[in-house]
Amino acid sequence: MLSSVGNTMTRLRKVRQVLLYILLLNMGVAVAKILYGYKTGSISMLSDGFHSFFDGTSNIFGLVGIWIASHPPDTNHPYGHRKYETLSTIAIAVLIFFAGFEILKKAYLGLKIPHSIEVTSISFIIMALTLFVNIVVMKYETRKGRELKSDFLLADALHTRSDIFVSISVVISLISAKMGYPVIDVIAAVIIAFLIGKMGFEILKSATYVLTDAACINTDEIKKITNRIKGVKGCHEIRTRGKEGAVNIDLHILVAPEVKTQDAHELAHSVEKTIKKEFPSVIDVVIHIEPYDSNQAESGDSQCSHRGHKV
């Protein structure tokens, strides 16, 4: 258990380092697009700039959430604080929905009040540079998210990926404005808003699965592995919860009635060790020992006893 806590602390410390790097890049990109968007009157570029700014804001939420999640188990949180990392992804979703609303509002005002857009070569240079930065950030964050099994980094990488498509739509709107069709700028802003909303929904759905303890490993696979262990007569009532990189499993195993408590204890440890070997993402296994009854097993029923064993 101590080893598991230590590994979690190390993992979260690395996640914080990644977020700090990405925060600096996101803020630099956001400032460039917002300032130039204001200067040229481009709603889509300004909207994209605010989107990048919220990328940076979400990184701050992530840093706070990861810092709390890195705290070891205590009296009030005996299972640890890992879900604070997932809670921080919900903060991202909320910020994303807010950004989408602001962009829709600006697009509406753009339709009501005619405006002109100043398109220069600098506009395209800024968008090209921000596209390059976004691609680098997305690849880096996705790779680190998978490597560190971080829900937040993977959610934020999805956020950054949408930035790439958003920036491409901004480039299209700038070209359209240059050709004399500035209304395309407003249309692009609306498309951006809906892309942002879709992304927020996907992040929210992913976080909900973790917070509501949705199953995360195929129980048939666990049953198959457990039943192969010598001494195990059966396995049932398997439950899984958690997230990638931090899965908890509860299950009942059947053993011969004459098995001594010490032997049952060792068997339970053997089951735990085997499951963790087959599923490296598993951090905790709770096992309940039940006496095997051949008559009930044949009828398809399982027998429960009042004695249990936890590992």
11 compared with 104, residue with greater pLDDT: 104
pLDDT over threshold 50, residue 309:
no
Please name the residues in contact with 58: beta carbons below 8 A apart, sequence gap of 6 or more.
Answer: 91, 92, 95, 96, 156, 159
- Are the beta carbons of 55 and 15 closer than 8 angstroms? no
Q: Is the pLDDT at 298 greater than 50, yes or no?
A: no
Percent of the chain with pLDDT over 70: 84
The verdict on pTM exceeding 0.85 is: no
Ramachandran region, residue 300 (left: φ > 0; alpha: ψ -120 to 50; beta: rest): left
pLDDT greater than 50 at residue 304: no
Domain 219-298 has CATH 3.30.70.1350: yes
pLDDT for residue 285 is more than 50: yes
pLDDT-based confidence at residue 295 (cuts at 50, 70, 90)? low
Give the pLDDT band of residue 31 (cuts 50, 70, 90). confident
Where do the CATH 1.20.1510.10 domains begin and end in the chain? 2-211
Q: Which amino acid is at 153?
A: L
Does 140 or 50 have the greater pLDDT score? 140
Distant-in-sequence, close-in-space partners of 298: CB < 8 Å, separation ≥ 6? none
pLDDT in tens, 63-103: 787 788 878 788 888 888 888 878 888 877 887 787 778 77
Separation of alpha carbons 143 and 247, rounded Å: 21
Each residue's pLDDT tens digit, 189-248: 787 788 778 878 888 888 888 888 888 888 999 999 999 999 999 999 999 998 777 889
Ranges of CATH 3.30.70.1350 domains, the chain: 219-298
Q: 2-211 adopts what CATH topology?
A: Alpha-lytic protease prodomain-like (1.20.1510)
